[in-house]
């Protein structure tokens, strides 16, 4: 008979006593990620460019959420922001944008906007957060919001795919650099999620039908579909995971 004391216990998904930060947290995926962390006991700092929007998000999440206004593309301000604060245990690198169009219509301004926010800003947010963690000897988890388009290609998505494939490679290299410090780096790669950013796209009936034809589970994703993955990567339940991606795509990339 097996001794009950020898039976492994599931690592905790609780985040009590942990400090988390979520970028682009005013709406959609960002506010869902922040809510997941707060509901698991973390103290969450939510940041975005719009003061009114981010304060409303913090108020809705509850007393464990603190709002801060920050444009993550302002790299000097990003460095100062993290240097002036206690280290975080959890980063959700979520701020992003998209300018869908065929590659021959992409302008330099489009390139700078998408790559600048999705990749450059994400890189330097992670750098500033990691440096503060390393200085304090704080172990933790970095979660970068990628996309299924970081694993496959898509029509009219050349810039977006470039930024998300770059994010995937960035996270893998971060994992190698940061492992000696007990800091993990992983991505979450969602399919199309119903958010304010994607709503105008789904107004196009043909586009929505083409998306649904690729999602084998037969529906567009919701922000709630990502909350479990965020909590898993933030917690001790994923303690041996780094340098990889959780693809939440309803089967899109399985085809």
CB 233 within 8 A of CB 188: yes
CB 178 within 8 A of CB 130: yes
Q: Write out the two tokens for 4.
A: 């009950």
Phi, psi (degrees; rounded to nearest 5) at 71: -90, 110
160 in catalytic set? yes
| Strand bridging mode 183-190 / 140-145 | parallel
Q: Write out the two tokens for 147.
A: 């996309």
> Measured between alpha carbons, how far is 224 from 222 in angstroms, rounded to an integer?
5
Q: Write out the two tokens for 20.
A: 């988390």
Which contiguous run of DSSP H or E holds residue 90? strand 90-93
Name 92's bridge partners. Answer: 22, 143
Q: Which of 81, 160, 165, 232 is catalytic?
A: 160
Dihedral of CA 102/104/105/107: which sign?
Answer: positive
CA 3 vs CA 6, 8, 9: distances in Å: 5, 11, 13
Phi, psi (degrees; rounded to nearest 5) at 96: -165, 170
Q: Active-site residues: which are they?
A: 160
């Amino acid at each position: 008979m097996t001794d009950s004391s020898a039976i492994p216990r599931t690592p905790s998904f609780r985040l009590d006593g942990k400090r988390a930060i979520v970028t682009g947290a005013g709406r959609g995926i960002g506010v869902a990620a922040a809510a997941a962390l707060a509901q698991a006991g973390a103290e969450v700092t939510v940041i975005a460019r719009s003061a009114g929007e981010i304060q409303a998000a913090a108020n809705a999440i509850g007393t464990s959420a603190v709002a801060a206004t920050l444009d993550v593309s302002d790299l000097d301000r990003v460095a100062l922001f993290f240097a002036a604060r206690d280290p975080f245990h959890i980063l959700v690198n979520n701020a992003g944008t998209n300018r869908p169009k065929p590659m021959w219509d992409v302008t330099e301004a489009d390139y700078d906007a998408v790559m600048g926010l999705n990749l450059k800003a994400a890189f330097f947010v992670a750098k500033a957060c990691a440096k503060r963690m390393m200085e304090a000897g704080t172990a933790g988890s970095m979660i970068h919001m990628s996309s299924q388009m970081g694993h496959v290609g898509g029509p009219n998505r050349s810039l977006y795919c470039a930024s998300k494939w770059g994010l995937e490679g960035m996270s893998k290299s971060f994992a190698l650099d940061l492992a000696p410090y007990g800091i993990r780096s992983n991505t979450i790669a969602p399919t199309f999620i119903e958010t304010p950013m994607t709503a105008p796209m789904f107004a196009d009936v043909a586009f929505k039908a083409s998306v649904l034809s690729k999602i084998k589970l037969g529906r567009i994703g919701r922000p709630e579909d990502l909350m479990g993955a965020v909590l898993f990567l933030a917690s001790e339940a994923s303690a041996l995971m780094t340098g990889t991606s959780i693809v939440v795509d309803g089967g899109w990339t399985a085809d």
